[in-house]
A = this chain, B = another copy of it.
Amino acid sequence: MHTVKHENVIYKFEPEMEPVLEVESGAIVHFESNDCFFQQLKSNEDVINEIDFDRVNPATGPVSVKGAEPGDLLKVEILAIDLADEGVSVCMPGHGALPDEVRESTVRVIPVKDGYADYLGLKLPLAPMIGVIGVAPSDEEGSFPTATPWRHGGNMDTRDIRKGRTIYFPVAQAGALFALGDCHALMGDGEVSVSGLEIPADVLVRLSVLKGISAPWPILETESETMVIASGKDLEEAVRHANSAVVGVLSRALQVQWEEAYILASLAVDTRISQVVDPTMTVRAAVSKEIISTEVFLENLKK
């Protein structure tokens, strides 16, 4: 088993990055994941504006996977997300979905134990997820701060990126150059205050190359659904990107008119908010496996 230590981090997903590890397709890799503040906030009295903002949103990696080439998919099976025993959540004036209503920058350190987060006397069930996860972007797309989600992945802050799920990324550079970070112990759809329950974690994934399948956006497989996770400058653009991809797949896979597939999406595809607070906003459009299997979905991603 390979381990990537928590000091090996990037703050941008870039077309050219120096891998810290190279593995065979099918390898299992252990990533030591930092919280999104690189553990700089440790108590409710800490002041957000005094932390080093150059160390926010670290992603552990990147890892090069042998044989991955542009036009392939990188298949990432999430085998484990083991959380630390304490996380932190914050809000700041000018940030989040209600930027004008926040008066005070606030830090809350929150213990995590026995399957629950203890906050305000409430027991909130844990639902560990990976916030930042992705690969090197294409030369045309260029560099993205880790905070910004886009076609290569990044800070998608999507609750469904959990243990037992599989996520597929479009490979744009040789080796794919995969990295992850920013785990949350739990998070509501929207992430309205600007943070989930930010927490260090040990993440185990299996990295495999699927040759000759390209994708416009990351694709997530759950027990019951296939999802396109798309981002945009606003939610409306993200909704368009996600549904354009889904309707194209449905039309090709079911061999029906594009308009018939569009109507099918209107009846049976759920478009869900992931987050509304990052530099680009993210949604996922989810299709039941009763309508189309993930395998057939992936085969029909190509235009």
Contact = CB atoms under 8 A, between A and B. Distances in A.
A193 B262 contact: yes
A239 B189 contact: no
Interface string A263-297: 11111111111001000000101000001000000
Interface stretch (A49-57, A70-78, A251-259): A251-259
B91 A262 contact: yes
A159 B240 CA distance: 20
A170 interface: no
A291 B97 CA distance: 21
A266 B98 contact: no
A241 to B, nearest CB: 10
A132 to B, nearest CB: 17
Contacts of A259: 91, 102-104, 106
Contacts of A189: 270-272
A195 interface: yes
B120 A254 contact: yes
Interface of A: 89-91, 96-98, 101-104, 106, 108, 117, 119-122, 124, 186-197, 234-236, 239-240, 243-244, 247, 254, 256-260, 262-273, 276, 283, 285, 291
17 contacts: A89-B267, A102-B259, A103-B259, A104-B257, A104-B259, A106-B257, A106-B260, A106-B263, A120-B256, A120-B260, A124-B267, A188-B265, A188-B269, A190-B285, A192-B262, A193-B266, A273-B273
